[in-house]
Structure 1
Amino acid sequence: MAAIARIAEPLPLDVAGIVHEIMRPRLGAIDAGEYPADILRALGAAGAYGHHADGTAAGLLAAIDAMTEAGQACLSTAFCMWCQDALVWYLAQGDEAGPRRHLAAIASGAALGGTGLSNPMKAFSGIEPLALQGERAGEGYRVRGRLPWVSNLGPGQRFAGILSLPDGRRVMGLFEAGAEAVSIAGNARFIALEGTGTYTVMIRDALLSDADVITHDAAAFVPRIRNGFVLLQTGMGLGLARGVAALMRADARGRANAAFLPLGPDAIEARADALRARVAAAAQAHAETDRANFLETLRLRLDVSWLALEAAQAAMLQFGARGYLEGSEPFRRLREAQFVAIVTPSVKHITTELARAT
């Protein structure tokens, strides 16, 4: 009897395969507000969020490159990846062992979660007060406050937050969306990145147990993680710029008539390459806690923002009226690029910090 041929199981997709085969067909739905939870889990299973858990420069760069790959197609997904990556970063670098019980699930994408550090990063720069307040209560802290926008969330998904105590100390902990006294509500609609699971979080006397405290001294902890926090964001802007360059090249008709515009796809790619080299160099110094090093990280992040904005604008100029249509790809990329420039630390925030240093 002839042997029965065995049907080979399909190989798991890598990040590029997930982007091409699963994400790209759903770009319109994600842009319209679909939260791509299954795609985010698949990216985690492909290893996208686990690279930097070891705290090395190589791991940090690999995480940025994975985000760049996704960002070439969809900034909403790349932003959610950054939220996930940031949470991995906090847990892996944290002072306390308790929250690390969640690290494996979050790094693998089995569990999804976000970062609630937009407000604290502004607070540490004196832009706004800390939104969460707490006080010691038994073996933990009683916490209250409101975070207006926390992304990559849904019921049961975790996020980090920093609270201030009456004596001025700051504590960083892990909260669960939808848990007792931690409610979420979607009460805004954005011009882009609507599919990012972004909610307002209301914390009403929730108990943060010591088992969920990442650090009891956030003032000392944040300088250790802030370079990595910001460097990870560069994957969003670099991905968008490279995606825009590819979009412009694929538009043979528009490209022929846009030869004399000031910024074309070759120049965009060259700038992206140069910035990627700077990111690699900066990753080597991510553990440095001095302010001068952090300002250099901010300058790099600012330059990535400018490239994303200029690249998306260049695509609109090349496509002309075709790009000005509702639902067009250049219009989506332009809206996404504006988010690169306003996500914390925003261009406004960064330029303020740099001006203080002069």
Structure 2
Amino acid sequence: MLDPTLSRWLDEHAEGLDLGHTDPQSVLPQLAAAGLFAIGVPEERGGSGGTVLDAIDAIADVAGHSLTAAFVFWGQRAFIEYLLQSPNRELGDLLLGELLDGSLAGATGLSNAMKFLSGIESLQVNATPTGDGWSLDGRLHWVTNLRKGRFVVAAAIEREGAAPLVAAIPSDRAGLTRSDDLQLLGLQSSNTAALDFAAVELPRAWLLHEDARHYLPRVRPAFLGLQCAMTIGLTRKALESVREHLSDRRSVLREEEQRLADELDEQVARLREGLLDSAFLTEPARLFRIRIGLAEAAAAAVQLELQASGGKAYLTEHGAAFARRWRESAFVPIVTPSLVQLRAELQKQAKA
């Protein structure tokens, strides 16, 4: 259950966050004030305890009000998870406090890395060894939660003659340049931009892991699980709206609403089970199928909301929330890893 103050703020600003009319810098402080970033973080690391499942529930709750805010939440919480699973305890001790209180933005720049892990594309940042670390060159084309002023971004980095590494790069490093915000169809107040690296000097102290091929499969279940939470929250909200419109219990849409609700509950149960028993570490295809199933459920739920609302949904005066969810649902299939990429990976595994 979200803090009522945060729920009201999200409802009041959901449209502005989606269209870019609300200041993107306001999102992190609102989420942090409600204590959301501490959920699922061990108390001895400054958090409020619980597991990543609790963080998934919290992101889903936020997504029911605003997918933009949930997108920012996902980026921040995923970066926190990278630190929790990194052997570099000192780096976590340095950064976690400011990440939990929202004064520092954590950007999960590992979308390219997850595609690299599946053989879809090569890494886009390269490292040249220096005395106490590396010099970085390259570009990350799409990164969320690059809060203007101060952020830290995670990236998987290619290096010649050695395994790719994973590092955190703070925004104040010389040679690191943030682009203007990308002009998106929606989710515009999410601080989504590109990053250019030009001889960025990075000390070894900022290393998350020496071997991306070992580290990325370990963090992928949390990365995707937290990402799935956005879709879960959006789908629940769309189905809630359907139920509000179906005042007649005999409505022809009632059966379809119940079917989608049951399917959503089943997918969520599978997600929780796979994360609890760590099955996704050795069977990532199970997680990929859940991600695909949830995306399909979101599309179907928003389509059903349109049918249940009728012509009212197409009137600006009445249909603004539906139109926002329609735009939000269009993002679900393309967020990395996209449904096309996941299906390609499943097909490749099936052939193997």
- For residues 34-113 of structure 1, the aligned pairs below 5 Å read 34-54=22-42, 59-100=51-92, 101-113=94-106
What is the root-mean-square deviation of aligned Cα atoms in Å? 2.3
Give TM-score, length-normalised by structure 1: 0.88
| Pair 179,317 (structure 1): closer, same or farther in 2 beyond 3 Å | farther
Match of 1:299 among 258, 269, 289: 289
Tell me the number of residue pairs that the alignment of Structure 1 and Structure 2 aligns: 340
For residue 170 of structure 1, what is the aligned residue in structure 2? 164
1:311 CA drift (Å): 0.7
1:201 CA drift (Å): 0.6
Q: Which runs of 4+ in 1 moved over 6 A?
A: none
SS at match of 1:200: strand
For residue 352 of structure 1, what is the aligned residue in structure 2? 344
- For residues 262-281 of structure 1, the aligned pairs below 5 Å read 264-281=256-273
| Pair 280,187 (structure 1): closer, same or farther in 2 beyond 3 Å | closer
1:209 CA drift (Å): 0.9
Aligned-partner Cα distance in 1 for 2:166–2:65 = 33
Residue type of the partner of 1:93? Q
1:86 CA drift (Å): 0.6
| Pair 18,353 (structure 1): closer, same or farther in 2 beyond 3 Å | farther
| Pair 256,331 (structure 1): closer, same or farther in 2 beyond 3 Å | farther
SS at match of 1:241: helix
Structure 2 alignment gaps of length 5 or more: none
1:233 aligns with 2:227: yes
For residue 311 of structure 2, what is the aligned residue in structure 1? 321
1:45 CA drift (Å): 3.5
Alignment check: 8 A CA contact 1:67 1:78 kept = yes
Alignment check: 8 A CA contact 2:154 2:168 kept = yes
| Pair 45,251 (structure 1): closer, same or farther in 2 beyond 3 Å | same
1:336 aligns with 2:328: yes
Deviations 1:127-177 (A, max 9, x none): 111100011111111001111110011221111011100114211111123
Residue type of the partner of 2:277? A
- Work out the percentage of aligned pairs sharing the same amino acid: 27
| Pair 88,139 (structure 1): closer, same or farther in 2 beyond 3 Å | same
Alignment check: 8 A CA contact 2:295 2:332 kept = yes
For residue 27 of structure 1, what is the aligned residue in structure 2? 14
Aligned-partner Cα distance in 1 for 2:337–2:276 = 21
SS at match of 1:152: coil
Give TM-score, length-normalised by structure 2: 0.89
1:50 CA drift (Å): 2.2
1:284 aligns with 2:271: no
Aligned-partner Cα distance in 1 for 2:60–2:53 = 10
